[in-house]
Amino acid sequence: MDIKGILKPLTAWKRAFKPPHTIEVPNKVTREGAERYRGFHVNDMDKCIGCGTCAAICENEAIKMIPINDPDKGNSGYRPRIDYGRCCWCALCVDICPTGSLEMTNEYTWVRETGDEFIFTPGIDIIGHEDKKDKGFKKDDKLNFLHLERVPMRELDPKERTQTFAEAVLGYSEEEARAEAERCVGCGLCISGCPDRMHIPDYIRAIAEGNDQKSLNIIYENNPLPEMCGKVCTRRCEFECSLGHLGEPVAIRWLKRYVVEQFDDLKKYVDAKPEPLNGKKVGIIGAGPAGLTAAYYLRLKGYETEIFEAAPKAGGMTFLGIPKYRFPIPSLDKQVELIESVGVKINYNSPVDSKKFKKIYDKYDAVFIATGAPKGMSMRIDGEDHPKVLAAIDFLKTINLGGTVDIGKEVVVVGGGNVAIDAVRVSKRLGANSYIAYRRRVVDMPADEEEIEATEAEGIPIYTQIIPLRVEDGPKGKVKLIYGKAKMVQEKEGARPRPVLIEGKEYEYVVDSIIVAIGQRPDLDFIPEDIRNKLEMEKRIIKVDKRQMTNIDKVFAGGDLANWTADAISAIADGLRAVKGIELYLSSKK
């Protein structure tokens, strides 16, 4: 008889006198969930950009992006709504959130009176658990599904590149491009930043998958100048990139550049089949980005298009204004060649005057004006008509056309935009000791920050808070720029601070040339006076509707002369809108 085995279990009775070690729920919960507990979602509305990456990784489709009423700029206008009937609390959404806005509380229970509250939009629907934020599961710096660091771009050494007009940026290798493209989460916020609404996530995905030709054709769906954009675009898309919130945005511009660089002869690889001519003719004045875009896509749709260009080459400011170390001629030629190959006729060296304009107006079914903004703005100070004061745009144009400008040994460039940067870097390459004088601070400069960095790397000083007062003759044939210092005054909350002259003290630069790069304006002298008088303007640019139509019958306008943004990609967007506008206009006319 196993007496021990019968008695031993009875020792369990000793536990009867001990207090229970389990906790009664829900009345007596005395402990909080752990710091990492995956409780219920909270979303920081100040950080959330509605990129939808959380919804993309959710395997249960518990997250749906729903539109909200008041989206800020830079947001998709959507916010994640979570369905607790589907959620499995894996928190992959928290770990992949590109802004770190999505977190979880450490609550254990979710007791609600109605079933409706099991589907909610955290941050929008306030349900009383928001104070538990920061207590539960949140993004960890060490584990990151996102690749926040950009593949660095190889460049010529700054010292070496100031000696030459060879391209400064070298472009990605195949391996680098694939790695960079692989970072994209495909949220598509970049599309909202691009004036041309290019299909960015699609072509980046194609690069990541190793299909460069597919990528090229996606790009060509709405941009006939991708190599230009890939090299000199103002890349508004990158400022919207969701990865830019915690890391560096995807190098969208360099990726586009990479794709187009892979193909020497675009005609073979771009799937561009023009429809047969439909008998309608469109005359285009100016072969800049806007004109070329309109001409290319109109021709693909069957319209006969003819461009009149004053310069010996197409490209507009991308040819005349942008220095060759940023955008070399062969890159431009390659793209224009494709545009001409589909049947676009470009008349080079044929400037349009008012007589010719009338002829074009009478001959064509529609006219698209895209002559850009070729005239430099003046500083409106005394002595500005001094022969040593040059407009940056004239200076760059002369250099790009192969001419020479005697700028001397010491050059000051006035301005803080991309043109000022181009002018100062070109002067440096011409052997001058050049520098920038700008009236605000470096952070306020409208120039691309990468361009500013490159300028500084080349040893070009940027002097800030300088207000030019007048220009005087200097000693030994030099010229003096007299200036005062400015202080920055914040006039309105949230507004950009304004430079205000500090009265009393004056300083001077004694230089060989002063290059003025403070903006450009359109030149509409070629339009006959009767039409010009009727033409509706908006300050110094032409007023157009959302299809680029002016108030004059059959006249459309686009590019810098009808667009305040005044960059190449906006001009391309204008060109595309004009294509739709002209198509609609001509099809309604019969």
Partner 1 sequence: MKEFKREDREVKLFVGPQHPGVTGNMSFEITLEGDTLTSVKTHVGYLHRAFEKLMERRLYIQNFPLVCRICVPESDTNEENYARALEELAGIEVPERAKWIRTLVLELSRLQMFIRWMGGIAGTMGLSTAPQWAIGDRDYILDLFEELTGGRIYHIYILPGGVRRDIPEGFEERVLKVMDYIEKKLPDYDDLIFENSVFKKRLIGLSKLDPAWVEEIGVTGPVARACGFPFDVRKEQPYEIYDKLDFDIITETGCDMYSMALVRRREIDLSINLIRQIIDKMPKGEVWTPLPNVLYWKIPAGETYVKTEATRGEFGYYVVTDGSDKPRRIHVRGVSTPHAYTLLERLVPGMNISDFSVTIVGLQTCPPEIER
Residues making contact with partner 1 (CB under 8 A): 2, 4-6, 8-9, 11-12, 15, 21-22, 33-38, 53, 56-60, 88-92, 95-96, 104, 136-137, 140, 142-147, 182-186, 205, 208
Query: Closer CB to partner 1, residue 186 or residue 484?
Result: 186
Given the complex with partner 1, which of 241 and 445 has the nearer CB atom?
241
Q: Whole-number minimum distance, CB 66 to partner 1, in Å?
A: 21
Q: In angstroms, what is the minimal distance from the CB of 472 to partner 1?
A: 60
Select 178 or 280, whichever has its Cβ closest to partner 1: 178
Tell me how far apart the alpha carbons of residues 307 and 578 are, in angstroms, rounded to a whole number. 15
3-state class of 212 per DSSP? helix
Closer of 47 and 147 to partner 1 (Cβ): 147
What does the DSSP assignment read for 88-132? Answer: ----HHHHH-SSS-EEE--------SSGGGGEE-BTTB--S-GGG
Closest CA to 204 of 383, 194, 323: 194
Closest of 557, 561, 551 to residue 577, by C-alpha: 557
Nearest distance in Å: CB 241, partner 1:
14
* Smallest separation, CB 463 to partner 1 (Å): 43
Closer to partner 1 by CB, 145 or 348: give it.
145
| Residue type present at position 407 | I
Minimum separation from the CB atom of position 205 to partner 1 (A): 7
Cβ closer to partner 1: 38 or 214?
A: 38
Q: How far is the CB of 17 from partner 1 (least distance, A)?
A: 14
Angle between helices 252-261 and 174-182 in degrees, nearest 10 = 140
One-character DSSP codes across 236-268: HHHHH-GGGGTSPPP-HHHHHHHHHHT-S-HHH
Q: Write down the least CB distance from residue 398 to partner 1, Å.
A: 47
**φ/ψ of residue 132, rounded to 5:** -85, 0
Tokens of 96: 């992949």
In the complex, the smallest distance separating the C-beta of residue 50 from partner 1, rounded to whole angstroms, is 17
Question: Residue 98 or 171: which CB sits closer to partner 1?
Answer: 98
End-to-end CA distance of the chain: 112
Q: Provide the minimum distance between the beta carbon of 91 and partner 1 in the complex, in angstroms, as a whole number.
A: 7
- Nearest distance in Å: CB 252, partner 1: 15
Helix or strand run (H / E) with residue 304: strand 304-308
- Comparing CB distances to partner 1, the nearer of 58 and 552 is 58
> How near is the Cβ of 129 to partner 1 at its closest, in Å?
17
In this complex, which beta carbon is closest to partner 1, that of residue 89 or of residue 165?
89
Say which DSSP state 549 is in: B
Nearer to partner 1, 140 or 353 (CB): 140
**What minimum distance in Å lies between the beta carbon of 586 and partner 1?**
43
Q: Is there a cis peptide before residue 19, judged by omega within 30 degrees of 0?
A: no
Q: Which is nearer to partner 1, 106 or 520 (CB)?
A: 106
Rounded CA-CA distance 586/581 in Å is 9
Please give the backbone phi and psi of residue 204, each rounded to the nearest 5 degrees, phi first: -70, -40
In the complex with partner 1, the residue whose CB is nearer, 33 or 468, is: 33
Parallel/antiparallel/unpaired status of strands 119-120 and 78-83: antiparallel
Q: Rounded to whole angstroms, how far apart are CA atoms 123 and 101?
A: 10
Contact residues for 119 (Cβ-Cβ < 8 A; gap 6+)? 81, 82, 83, 84, 85
Residue 61 makes CB contacts below 8 A (sequence gap 6+) with 55, 86
Q: Which is nearer to partner 1, 17 or 330 (CB)?
A: 17
| CB of 41 vs partner 1, minimal distance in Å | 13
Report which of 232, 250, 177, 166 is spatially closest to residue 450, judged by C-alpha positions: 232
Q: Which residues have CB under 8 Å from 416's CB, separation 6+? A: 436, 438, 439, 440, 444, 445, 446, 447
- Output DSSP code: residue 143: S
Dist. CA 505–CA 485, nearest whole Å: 8
Q: Give the span between the Cα atoms of 517 and 437, in whole angstroms.
A: 10
Q: Which is nearer to partner 1, 108 or 165 (CB)?
A: 108
Q: Is there a contact between 514 and 479 (Cβ–Cβ < 8 Å)?
A: yes
Q: Min. distance of Cβ 192 from partner 1 in angstroms? A: 20
